[in-house]
Structure 1
């Protein structure tokens, strides 16, 4: 079953022609608003520009007068004052030592507080720098104490095992 005229369509190898050009603005846009001479008058030196009539209900921005144009403001000076940096001790070297040599978990916590102290010092936040510095010192001292106790216990265990092995023979 075939349809009459089915084989007689446009040639698919031929390029499609674009639609014809139209002088009508797309979507029915209104023509531009010009005064009765076709051009806006040029303002003279020192005169405010003449604003075109706008029957569409244009509302100017809050700082623009439709009769005088944008209002100028006197330049303002902005002074940025950075807070003075805090001078709290950050115990960073002590934290790295306790991290590597004494007690790893407590050394990590002490290192985090040391970095927070350094950041608070740079931001000028003295209260936060004091809290973080105090916590870093506490965790560093605790890690050093734990490390010393573990070292003493380890030496005692090694000596005890060595003496018992020596007395056995």
Structure 2
């Protein structure tokens, strides 16, 4: 059987077997599930997730086996369309004779704004007395946060002699 008469699946399967690679090894190397690889090898394309995935599987699997993956995709497209492989090949980049450009320059002040003018959003008016009261409350709480633990540590670590001196001595009754 000639290469021109072989299906894409047969070419892939023959290349895999010639290299002595199992489907499990191919799955690990390509990150393509073995059931999809086997479906492609058996030309059961309806068992794959879809046309786009099928083309990606054929290309990646072919490249992994040392074949020309994009060429295999072209052969698949041709066989699916019932045409010769040469008829489906990409024609390359399309060239045109004339190109029409419509260039519009903007003023410097228009760049980035989209409106043609520069505006700062208005800030809401805040009542000054409430803001100052809030700042004072935050200052008192911050001072307490730092002062209270220091005071507690001072009294915890105070020597016992000083603690006795700070106690008031009651006069004894005679």
TM bin, normalised by shorter chain, reads under 0.3
Q: Which fold has the larger relative contact order, with Cα–Cα distance below 8 Å and residues 6 or more apart in sequence?
A: 1
TM-score of the pair, normalised by structure 2: 0.20
More helix by share: 2
TM-score of the pair, normalised by structure 1: 0.21
